[in-house]
Amino acid sequence: MLKMLKEVNKKKQMLMGASILRISFGLLILYFYLIHYSQRYFLWGPQGMIQHKDFLTELSLSSKISLYQFSDSVAYFDVIFHLGILAALLFTLGFKGRIISIINFIFTWSIFSRNGVILDGGDNIMRILLLYLCVADTTAYFSIDSYLKKKKGPTFDPGTKASAVKYRYYLHNLAILACIVQVSMVYLTSGLHKAMGELWQKGTALYYILQVGEYTHPFFRDLIHGFEIAMVLGAYFTVLVQVSFPFLLFNRRTKYVAMAGVISMHVGIAIVMGLISFSATMISIQLLLLTDGEYRMLNSMLRTWRSRIQALIGKKRESSVPPQATAIVLYDSWCPLCTGSINNIKKLDWFGVMDVASFRDEEVLSKYHISPEDAEKRMHMVLLKKGKTVNGIHSLIEIAKRAPILWWGVPVMYLGVWLGLGQRIYDFFASRRTIIPQGQCQGNVCRIEQK
């Protein structure tokens, strides 16, 4: 057992799952902030649904603390509320790892504590897991931190002791284990409590749940009422899935069964009961259970399926009119990073709706009436159907719209634009790209500019 523990802790485990969970939680927190944005003063304001003095009384009784307790000023509320949105955005993008994780946890805890009446239960497990994730490495993949680390290249700090590195591994792995144990205990205790209930034993629990107007939709209620057997089986299935969940995780194959059972259960809860954010939270946690190797295997399978689909579509296109591009991406062919990104964009352009061209070609700039200075500052994209040109973060948005696998990033980038940060963040990275001029070398020497 001790040998196995040492082997497991030789590296950080489940980095991809932790990164995906970070993004999922971040998007859910942003959704929570923004869907109620126009009603924020009523729901959380000092003179809103719960008056500030009543809020302080509630905190004293529950021994909780919140950033919203320190002032009854509307201006103070606005500052804290919008800082919370910014923290959630940076957390989603994976910037400054543990520091932002701690800050986001504080703001999320504070907003959840401000008004518990409107919450659906998913906030409880999210708060606990966000605390654990403060010491986990959640930015190893799909993050600004990982991008900057990759750009900087491998580094070695001689002052870092091997024991300190091991300590980080232990801390990360312990945090991931704590998350898994926590969610397992939630399902186990929930399942055992259901199993002790008379309504669940008789299989009539779902029938009575559907009678609660706040947690059901008339269409689905009337639809399901005609299938008594389905309601009975659904009740027993729920108890079985929840009680067996922790034990099924000990085997890789049964783990998939547990994940499929829990996900299908929460999809049903989202559709029938309308608890969308709760179900999304619980489904997101399931993404933590896959190892990095399993994610790589899944990625390989998706690539294989995509290749087969592309080959099938390609055969059909040979006998039909080829698709026409709806946009042209103007990139910097002197920038190795830009060239690599363009190659990836070509792979993600499954429908063949994007063409690419280097703005270093003078004919390209004159054709689309773009100055060399503007082209060098920001990537441009010509929208052929609309007859206009966009640049910077707006180019990335248009690219994401045309690549199905990047659709999740569209609302995140729009949020960045809305907050006034999107273009600034883009300019920050674009101005620091490496440029290697082509065709301007003298002898064996080429000048390299740092942008």
Neighbours of 405 (CB within 10 A): 12
Question: Is the CB of residue 337 less than 8 Å from the CB of residue 151?
Answer: yes
**pTM above threshold 0.75:** no
Residue 161 scores a pLDDT above 90 = no
Give me the pLDDT at residue 375, please: 86
Q: For residues 367 and 319, which has the higher predicted lDDT (pLDDT)?
A: 367
C-beta separation of 358 from 374 below 8 A: no
User: Kind of pairing, strands 449-450 and 434-435?
Assistant: antiparallel
Average pLDDT, the chain: 86
pLDDT of 159 above 70: no
Determine what percent of the chain falls in helix, strand and coil, rounding each to the nearest 5. Answer: 70, 5, 25
Residues making up the chain, counted from first to last: 451
Q: Could you read off the pLDDT of 373-429 as tens digits, one per residue?
A: 888 889 999 998 888 899 999 999 999 888 888 887 888 788 778 878 888 888 888
Strands (DSSP E) along 344-428, which ranges? 354-358, 380-383, 388-391
pLDDT at 438 exceeding the cut of 70? no
Residue 331's pLDDT is: 87
pLDDT in tens, 247-264: 999 998 899 999 999 999
- Determine if residue 126 is left, alpha or beta; phi over 0 gives left, psi from -120 to 50 gives alpha, anything else beta: alpha
What are φ and ψ of residue 300, in 5° steps? Answer: -65, -40
Give the torsion sign (CA, 214, 217, 220, 223): positive
Residues 302-343: tens digit of each pLDDT: 888 877 777 776 655 554 444 567 889 998 888 888 888 888
The larger pLDDT score, comparing residue 444 to residue 113, is at 113
User: What pLDDT, on the 0 to 100 scale, is given for residue 321?
Assistant: 44
Quote the tokens at residue 200.
């669940």
Question: Which position has the higher pLDDT, 85 or 226?
Answer: 85
Residue (of 35, 62, 13, 26) closest to 284 by Cα position: 26
CA–CA distance, 247 with 249 (Å, rounded to integer): 5
Per-residue model confidence as pLDDT tens digits over 119-130: 988 999 999 999
Instruction: Lowest mean pLDDT of 83-87, 106-110, 424-428, name the range.
Output: 424-428
232, two tokens: 């009975």
